[in-house]
Chains A and B, each alone.
Chain A
Amino acid sequence: MGSVIKIENLSKAYQLGEIGTGTLTRDLERYWARIRGKEDPFLKIGEANDRSKKGESDIVWSLKDINFDIEEGQAVGIIGRNGAGKSTLLKVLSRVTAPTTGSIKVKGRIASLLEVGTGFHPELSGRENIYLNGAILGMRKAEIKRKFDEIVDFSGVERYIDTPVKRYSSGMYVRLAFAVAAYLESEILIVDEVLAVGDAEFQKKCLRKMEYGLHILCLDRNYAWCTSAVIAAGDDRQIYI
């Protein structure tokens, strides 16, 4: 009843190897199949994504027939080994790339944080980058203006705010970037392993800040604070809740 995200039969196929003349013939065949209203001939031979073995096909399924619902008010962590499809799922959820089949239905606004500091321009000052990065993440200018002092305060780089970010230390850069993201207000927040930033004190501060709304997090281990639901991406491309 209270599900906010509903994922049905979600699959995503990727192509391995290089893109060149070889893929052009295949693209033409695929295009021809689509014109005739037939199914994509190359998706049928797709294989499960097992990175350690050499497979037959160079189409692999990163996600295959995934179904699950996420209820309101949960903090969901997605865990799994490297290449299990965690980030792919988050990419599809944040609309960076479209799924191959299936659908996702969402209630409310999604904000996603697949990387901190997306769109930071090295030549621009910290101040200008806060506005730019905030707008890229979906904030309105007035909203950023209102929160500006808090963001600067949170990042702790006030002294450097009018210096181009290319002069920042990597720690300062990440702090500033994360501070913008921390003030993002949306019903659903998607985060991909970006919490591994800053020093210990800063990490703790970030976690405290993020205690609102629904979160979907992609993690490398099971953190204690997201116990309400943990989704595990298994070897057979299925998702367990």
Chain B
Amino acid sequence: MTEQKDYWDLEIVPESNMLDLKLQDIWRYRDLLILLVRRDFVSFYKQTILGPLWFFIQPLFTTIIYTFIFGNLAAISTDGLPQPLFYLAGITAWNYFADCLTKTSSVFTANAGLFGKVYFPRLIVPLSIVVSNLIRFGVQMCLFLLMMAYYATKGANLHPNISLLLFPFLLLLMAMLGLGLGMIISAMTTKYRDLSFLVTFGIQLMMYLTTVIYPLSVVKAKYPHYQWLLEYNPMTSIIEAFRYGFLGRGTFTAASLAITTGVTLVILLTGIIIFNRVERDFIDTV
């Protein structure tokens, strides 16, 4: 029984433990993670003249349009903050979450060719998406900080405060939420594609249920009956806390952040479990 020949490095069986994350395997493939991030980043601006500058242009133009439509035409309050700054804060944070979600949600279908030919821990690919979006987010944060500095010199009423310390935590929450939701959707679209149609416009609709183009305080004052809709949305308190930390305006409580954290963890765990289940033989049905 204790003979050496009973030792095997690897056993391939039909079912595996749901919570077995193969973290050791993932660690062994960490170089692949870095190279995939590099690939995403480099291939994004290959054969362009402006290169990484394109990371700036998208949020900048969105901000201009939002300022015109929601700020001036519809005259939605921005909590007394300069309008472009208010929108850019929301867009920067929201984009990170939305990009993580949409990219992760097509991980199985988009990489079927790769997954069908070689084994590596599948979780590497969604993780690389989160990290490469983080780089993009970092670039866009620079734009936000530049705009903040510009408005500060013009004497706008900004109050960066101690809540800024929450920033890394908020970033982690957004990454986990995007990753978790994305993995659930990607696992559910391997066999039946229906859900993938929902993602593209669903994410847009969800933005309007999040406080990207309006502050939570306005909803609380104007539509107290509907504020639960926003408060149950985990992204709301993340964005409100983000705005509060950097600009000094935003409505969030420790309780709302705690609920968000709880919801996020549940979603991430569900995502990982479903993803683990599906990755074993999705290639037969994708």
- Chain A residues within CB distance 8 Å of chain B: 1, 3, 6, 14-15, 19, 23-24, 27, 92-110, 112, 114-115, 118-119, 121, 123-124, 128, 131-132, 135-141, 164
Contact = CB atoms under 8 A, between A and B. Distances in A.
Contacts of B13: 98-99, 102-103
A92 B31 CA distance: 25
B119 A96 contact: yes
Interface of B: 5, 7-16, 29, 31-32, 34-36, 38-39, 42-43, 46-47, 113-120, 191-192, 280-281, 283-285
Contact of B10 (A1, A105, A121): A105
A136 B11 contact: no
A97 B14 contact: no
B35 A135 contact: yes
A106 B10 contact: yes
B151 to A, nearest CB: 38
A112 B119 CA distance: 8
A14 B119 contact: no
Nearest to B10: A106
A140 B280 CA distance: 24
Contact of A93 (B11, B12, B115, B284): B12
A15 B118 contact: no
A128 B42 contact: yes
A96 B46 contact: no
B218 to A, nearest CB: 44
A136 B285 contact: no
6 contacts: A6-B8, A19-B285, A103-B13, A105-B12, A107-B7, A124-B42
A38 B2 CA distance: 34
Contacts of B43: 121, 123-124
B11 A106 contact: yes
Contact of A94 (B31, B118, B281): B118
Contact of A136 (B15, B120, B191, B283): B120
Contact of B32 (A14, A99, A124, A135): A135
**Residue of B5, B8, B11 with most chain A CB atoms under a 10 A cut-off:** B8
Contacts of A101: 14
Contact of B284 (A97, A102, A109): A97
B35 A114 contact: no
